[in-house]
Structure 1
Amino acid sequence: MFAVSPAPTAASALEDLAGLARALLEGERDATANAANLSALIFHTLPELNWAGFYWMKGGELVLGPFQGKPACVRIALGKGVCGTAAQQKRTVVVPDVHAFPGHIACDSASNSEVVVPVMKGGRVIGVLDVDSPRLARFGDAEAKALEEVARIFVESSDLD
């Protein structure tokens, strides 16, 4: 059984995240199972989160995938909110205060900061990894880089269309 113990600090949690993700996905190629387990890993490993999960590109919009947290927005248009912006621009977006982000979509009113990483395969966006926190300015470059690595591990470890 795979066990996750909360890390003593945010910095050590980030250092451990890629290794934990690799170990968790080892031997499993199913994308849904892998996304579900990564959502749980992120949610229970990184401190001060209230949502962690995936949205997938379907029919030209983002559609809710596996996640941990309160129920979420089901569909997000490209270019809308933090998730739609990250997908459209094919780049990670870190937002210290979501209430100051133009067009922010408030799926959970408790969220105050957010980081969204595009999940890329073959140069195209297949989805996004979205992580929210109730704490303002919770995410920075270190979190963005760690989550980008997790997204890469997901793509390498999963059978994707």
Structure 2
Amino acid sequence: MFDFSFPADTPDEERYRELANAADALTEGEADGVANMANLAALIWSFVPDLNWAGFYRVVDAELVLGPFIGRPACIRIPLGQGVCGTAAATGETQLVADVHAFPGHIACDSASESELVVPVVRDGMVVAVIDLDSPRKARFKEADAKGIEALAARIATRI
């Protein structure tokens, strides 16, 4: 059994370093990508405060398909290039959105979401998934969050 609880007042740099280390420990030796995404969603939920949704969308053909997550039911399919997740997948660039209602073409899967961070997971030069974090608080995510989740995405890219 794993216990990855973390104090809420932990500095961001330390929080994300420990998140990446825990992700390594949790997924090491497991070849099933879906199982790893499920555990990683739970791990992110444990480490990152003020979330109402944390999980993955997988690139399947020309769209994103819902993967393992924690939160309320979500959109199952998102076209590449649409919404925050589709934009991250199509461009290969992290999307750090302080106010989702101001994002052109935002897809509202959970009406409680106010801000969002979406990080592409790149393997062999191709986006294979995105890590999607939503918060019920505007401007919840900062550059430190983006850098931390980007480092996580790089470390787990071959395990999902």
TM-score with structure 2 setting the length: 0.93
Secondary structure, counterpart of 1:14 in structure 2: helix
C-alpha displacement at 1:21, in angstroms? 1.2
Q: Percent identity?
A: 56
C-alpha displacement at 1:22, in angstroms? 1.2
Tell me whether 1:123 sits opposite 2:128 in the alignment: no
Secondary structure, counterpart of 2:18 in structure 1: helix
Name the residue aligned to 2:105. 103
Give unpaired runs (5+ residues) of structure 1: none
C-alpha displacement at 1:50, in angstroms? 0.4
User: Aligned partners of 1:126 and 1:7: how far apart in 2?
Assistant: 32
Aligned residues: 158
Residues 69-92 of structure 1: CA distance to partner in whole angstroms, max 9, x if unpaired? 000000001111000000111111
Contact 1:117 1:129 in 2 (8 A): yes
Name the residue aligned to 2:6. 6
Alignment match of 1:143 (pick from 142, 145, 158): 145
Contact 2:8 2:49 in 1 (8 A): no
Contact 1:39 1:52 in 2 (8 A): yes
Contact 1:35 1:154 in 2 (8 A): no
Name the residue aligned to 1:38. 40
Secondary structure, counterpart of 1:138 in structure 2: coil
Name the residue aligned to 2:23. 21
User: Aligned partners of 2:124 and 2:61: how far apart in 1?
Assistant: 18
Alignment match of 1:71 (pick from 70, 73, 86): 73
User: Aligned partners of 1:95 and 1:119: how far apart in 2?
Assistant: 18
The code of the aligned residue for 2:92 comes to K
Contact 1:7 1:13 in 2 (8 A): no
User: Aligned partners of 2:82 and 2:7: how far apart in 1?
Assistant: 34
C-alpha displacement at 1:59, in angstroms? 2.1
**Aligned-pair Cα RMSD in Å:** 1.3
Residues 123-149 of structure 1: CA distance to partner in whole angstroms, max 9, x if unpaired? 111111100000111111111111111
User: Aligned partners of 1:66 and 1:105: how far apart in 2?
Assistant: 19
Q: After the TM superposition, which of the residue ranges 26-35 and 69-78 deviates more from structure 2?
A: 26-35
The code of the aligned residue for 2:61 comes to G
Q: After the TM superposition, which of the residue ranges 33-42 and 22-31 deviates more from structure 2?
A: 22-31
